[in-house]
Amino acid sequence: MGWEEFVPADLKELYEVQDYKHAAAILAVEFPQEFREICDV
């Protein structure tokens, strides 16, 4: 399971995404509301 599963496709197309110590997975699973807000910004 990598960050690719959690980061929306439109963000992957626009930005180079680097994940540190599974931060995307942790945010998406443990803090889904906050992760959505981050992605929406």
Digit-coded pLDDT (tens) for 1-41: 688 888 999 999 999 999 899 999 999 999 999 999 999 99
Tell whether 39 is covered by a domain: no
| pLDDT given at position 15 | 93
Pairwise CA distance, residues 15 & 31, whole Å: 22
- How many domains would you assign to the chain? 1
Tell whether 38 is covered by a domain: no
Give the containing element (helix H, strand E) for 15.
none
Q: Which residues of 18-34 are buried (b: 16+ CB within 10 A; e: fewer)?
A: eeeeeebbebbeeeeee
The pTM (predicted TM-score) of the whole model is 0.76
| pLDDT given at position 1 | 67
Distances (CA, A) of 25 to 13, 30: 19, 8
Tell whether 40 is covered by a domain: no
Tokens representing 23?
């931060």
Q: Could you list the residue range(s) of the whole structural domain that residue 20 is in?
A: 3-30
| pLDDT given at position 2 | 82
| pLDDT given at position 10 | 92
